[in-house]
Structure 1
Amino acid sequence: MAKIRVGELDVHVQRMSAAGPPADGPPPLVVLVHGLLIDSLASYYFSLGPAFAERGMDVLMYDLRGHGRTGRPATGYRLEDFVADLDGLLDALGEDRPAHVVGNSFGGAIAYGLAAARPDRVRSVIAIESEPPVKSWAEKMAEGLTGEEGGLVVKEVRTWLAEDPERNARPFQLAGDILDATTLSEDIPRSRVLDDGLADIRCPVFAVFGADSELAAQADHLAATLGHCRSVVLPDQGHSVLVERTRETAELLVEWLEDNIHDDIHDDIHTPAKGVR
């Protein structure tokens, strides 16, 4: 375990080095960004992290602000704050390699946000059950985090626990602690958002969805809107792609990364290829 000072925040970081010597130059850097409230870097530690490292990639995982073992300031939870944290973390680590940024759920919004704010820093975005942070995203986040009885997120958690009282409730208790101790629920819906046309996203994007998730409806739109984009929709799967289809997801992501790592994508970034689903 290591903590890195980023501004006024102590960020908990874990790294996995590429297995074996690099075949051609330094190994590619893969940054794994977890989801909101009930998540932490632990969700990657025994799943995608080892899969990437074993295939010759350097892996960086970290806990978001307010989550896991990273500091929990009372305020400062707009999307741009999370993006600035990741940007600052890469600076603090002295990383100058453009990163392949993998984001699960809310982590995907951070990946898109960094790609828009620092296109020089992001080689590609891999979004697992996520969507770009546009106006409709902010509206959904507001619906999920605020409102009667705490919003849809709280209601869904209560229903989930009621259906099976033997479930491990600790992650949801921790989520409640975050909501009680911070302005996260008020801040995220007020985040700065991207233009709906996604013109600021110029790197390749690989998006993975569960067919039974409401987010899957955007797969064709992303492929049509973004120049370099591939979308995969997994049948008979809801939002919990990373948890329930771990091995399949890892294989998909590793294969896509290996196909794109050595492509000189930046030279043709202004002549985008047609997206495929």
Structure 2
Amino acid sequence: MAKIRVGELDVHVQRMAAADPPAGTPPPLVVLVHGLLIDSLASYYFSLGPAFAARGMDVLMYDLRGHGRSGRPATGYRLEDFVADLDGLLDALGEERPAHVVGNSFGGAIAYGLAAARPDRVRSVVAIESEPPVASWAAKMAEGLNGEEGGLVVQEVRTWLAEDPERNARPFQLAGRILDATTLAEDIPRSRVLDDALTGIRCPVFALYGADSKLSAQAGDLAATLPHCRTVVLPGQGHSVLVERTKETAGLLLDWLGDGLHRRRTGPEAG
């Protein structure tokens, strides 16, 4: 566990070293970017992180600004701020390897954003239940964070908690503190967005969706828009792919990163 100074922000970082890396060749770097409000690097520490490290990859996990053990400035929560944090973190760590950037939910928007802003820095994007940060994404984020009764994001969390009274309510309480103490809800919908053609995304992309999630409807269009994109839709699954289908997710991503990346598979696939 460590905190790295990135500009004016202290960023909480966890790393897992590659197991049995090949001699004479630096192992691939995988950066895991978590989702918004109720999430932190812990979701990867206990799920995908160990699996990637066991397959010979260096793993970097960090808490987003305002989340977990990273600093919580009162302002500065546009998408480009999160992208700059990741770019600056890699600089601060002296990382020159292009990274496979894996983003869950909002973390996927950050991965797409970094790939567009710094194509030299991103070897591939993996987006789990996420979408590229275009104009329609910004509109959804505005509704999700500022709509009636706290927005759709808050309502979804309340529903998720109500489905199982024994679920830990602490993440929801922490999310409320972030919203109360920062301008995140106002800032994110005002983010600088990518053009709908996604011309800035040139690296391979793997997009994973739950079939019961609203985001899965974009799978075909995404595969048709991006030149090197594979999409997989998991039947009978909602938004919580990483939590509820961890083993399956790890297998799909490791297979793609290890065997399918250079083949640049294209087109939607139902898994």
Matching of residues 52-91 of structure 1 within 5 Å: 52-91=52-91
RMSD: 1.5
Deviations 1:60-110 (A, max 9, x none): 000000000000000000000000000000000000000000000000000
1: CA distance between counterparts of 2:214 and 2:149? Answer: 23
1:152, CA displacement in angstroms?
Answer: 1.2
Indicate the residue corresponding to 1:47 in structure 2: 47
1:274, CA displacement in angstroms?
Answer: 4.8
2: CA distance between counterparts of 1:235 and 1:159? Answer: 21
2: CA distance between counterparts of 1:21 and 1:207? Answer: 27
Amino acid at match of 2:19: A
2: CA distance between counterparts of 1:201 and 1:181? Answer: 34
1:23, CA displacement in angstroms?
Answer: 5.2
2: CA distance between counterparts of 1:157 and 1:186? Answer: 19
Percent identical:
85
Deviations 1:148-168 (A, max 9, x none): 221111222233333433321
- Structure 2 residue ranges without an equivalent (≥5): none
CA contact (8 A) 1:242 1:249 kept: yes
Indicate the residue corresponding to 2:166 in structure 1: 166
CA contact (8 A) 1:35 1:104 kept: yes
Number of aligned positions between the proteins: 269
1: CA distance between counterparts of 2:111 and 2:157? Answer: 25
Indicate the residue corresponding to 1:252 in structure 2: 252
What TM-score do you get using the length of structure 2 for normalisation? Answer: 0.96
Structure 2 residue matching 1:120: 3-state secondary structure: helix
The answer to whether structure 1 residue 188 and structure 2 residue 208 are counterparts is: no
CA contact (8 A) 1:226 1:275 kept: no
What TM-score do you get using the length of structure 1 for normalisation? Answer: 0.94
1: CA distance between counterparts of 2:118 and 2:198? Answer: 14
2: CA distance between counterparts of 1:232 and 1:18? Answer: 27
- Structure 1 residue ranges without an equivalent (≥5): 266-271
Indicate the residue corresponding to 1:179 in structure 2: 179
2: CA distance between counterparts of 1:24 and 1:205? Answer: 28
2: CA distance between counterparts of 1:114 and 1:141? Answer: 19
Structure 2 residue matching 1:88: 3-state secondary structure: helix
CA contact (8 A) 1:33 1:107 kept: yes
Indicate the residue corresponding to 2:8 in structure 1: 8
Amino acid at match of 1:109: A
2: CA distance between counterparts of 1:160 and 1:16? Answer: 31
The answer to whether structure 1 residue 241 and structure 2 residue 248 are counterparts is: no
